[in-house]
Structure 1
Amino acid sequence: MIGKIKKFNFKSLVILNTFALIVTSYFFNNFLLIGVFTLFFFISLLTTKNGLEIIRKLNLLQNIRTEGPANHYKKNDTPTMGGILMIVPFLIFLLIITINLGSLKLFLLLLSISGFFIIGFLDDYLSIKNKENTGLRTKEKFILQSIISMIFLLLAYEKNLINPLITVSDSWGINMNIFILPISFLVLVGMSNSVNLTDGLDGLAAGCSGIVFYGLGTEILMKEQQELFVFSILCYSMSGICLGFLNYNSYPAKIFMGDTGSLSIGAILSSIALLTDSVFTLSIFSGIFIIESLSVMVQVGFFKITKKLFRRGKRIFLMAPLHHHFELQGVKEQKIVENFWKINILLVILGIVLKINL
Structure 2
Amino acid sequence: MIGKIKKFNFKSLLILNTFTLIVTSYFFKNFFLIGVFTLFFFISLLTTRNGLVIIRKLNILQNIRTEGPTSHYKKNDTPTMGGVFMIIPFLIFLLIITINLSSLKLFLLLLTIFSFFIIGVLDDYLSIKNRENRGLKTKEKFFLQSIISIIFILLVYEKNLINPLITVSDSWGINMNFFILPISFLVLVGMSNSVNLTDGLDGLAAGCSGIIFCGLGTEILMKEQQELFIFSILCYSMSGICLGFLKYNCYPAKIFMGDTGSLSIGAILGSIALLTDSVFTLSIFSGIFIVESLSVIIQVCFFKITKRLFHNGKRIFLMAPLHHHFELKGVKEDKIVETFWKINILLVILGIVLKINL
With the shorter chain as reference, the TM-score category is over 0.9
Question: After superposition, what is the alpha-carbon deviation per residue over 1:296-319, rounded to whole angstroms, capped at 9, x for unaligned?
Answer: 000000000000010000000000
Match of 1:137 in 2: 137
**Offset at 1:171?**
1.0
- 1:171 is aligned to 2:171: yes
Q: Distance in 2 between matches of 1:59 and 1:84?
A: 15
- 1:302 is aligned to 2:321: no
Q: Letter of the aligned partner of 1:357 in structure 2?
A: N
Match of 2:330 in 1: 330
Match of 1:273 in 2: 273
Question: After superposition, what is the alpha-carbon deviation per residue over 1:301-345, rounded to whole angstroms, capped at 9, x for unaligned?
Answer: 000000001000000000000000000000000000000000000
Any idea what SS the aligned residue of 1:174 has? strand
Any idea what SS the aligned residue of 1:64 has? coil
Q: Letter of the aligned partner of 1:80 in structure 2?
A: T
TM-score using structure 2 length: 1.00
Match of 1:7 in 2: 7
Q: Letter of the aligned partner of 1:293 in structure 2?
A: S
- 1:197 is aligned to 2:192: no
Q: Distance in 2 between matches of 1:299 and 1:126?
A: 27
**Offset at 1:270?**
0.4
Instruction: Percent identity, please.
Output: 89
Q: Distance in 1 between matches of 2:55 and 2:87?
A: 15
Q: Distance in 1 between matches of 2:115 and 2:147?
A: 9
Any idea what SS the aligned residue of 1:166 has? strand
Q: Distance in 1 between matches of 2:15 and 2:172?
A: 36
- 1:118 is aligned to 2:118: yes
Segments of 4+ moved more than 3 angstroms: none
Match of 2:74 in 1: 74
Matches within 5 A, 1:14-33: 14-33=14-33
Q: Letter of the aligned partner of 2:109 in structure 1?
A: L
Q: Letter of the aligned partner of 2:283 in structure 1?
A: S
- 1:216 is aligned to 2:207: no
Q: Distance in 2 between matches of 1:249 and 1:332?
A: 16
**Offset at 1:179?**
0.8
Question: After superposition, what is the alpha-carbon deviation per residue over 1:37-74, rounded to whole angstroms, capped at 9, x for unaligned?
Answer: 00000000000000100011011100000000000000
Q: Letter of the aligned partner of 1:150 in structure 2?
A: I
**Offset at 1:243?**
0.1
Q: Distance in 2 between matches of 1:330 and 1:231?
A: 41
Q: Distance in 2 between matches of 1:195 and 1:289?
A: 6
Q: Letter of the aligned partner of 2:251 in structure 1?
A: Y
Match of 1:240 in 2: 240
Q: Distance in 1 between matches of 2:301 and 2:67?
A: 19
Q: Distance in 1 between matches of 2:200 and 2:140?
A: 21
Question: After superposition, what is the alpha-carbon deviation per residue over 1:167-198, rounded to whole angstroms, capped at 9, x for unaligned?
Answer: 10111111111110011000000000000000
Q: 5+ unaligned residues in a row in structure 2: which ranges?
A: none
Q: Letter of the aligned partner of 2:65 in structure 1?
A: R
Match of 2:345 in 1: 345
Q: 5+ unaligned residues in a row in structure 1: which ranges?
A: none
Q: Letter of the aligned partner of 2:177 in structure 1?
A: N
TM-score using structure 1 length: 1.00
Match of 2:260 in 1: 260
**Offset at 1:141?**
0.2
Match of 2:100 in 1: 100
Question: After superposition, what is the alpha-carbon deviation per residue over 1:258-311, rounded to whole angstroms, capped at 9, x for unaligned?
Answer: 000000000000000000000000000000000000000000000000000100
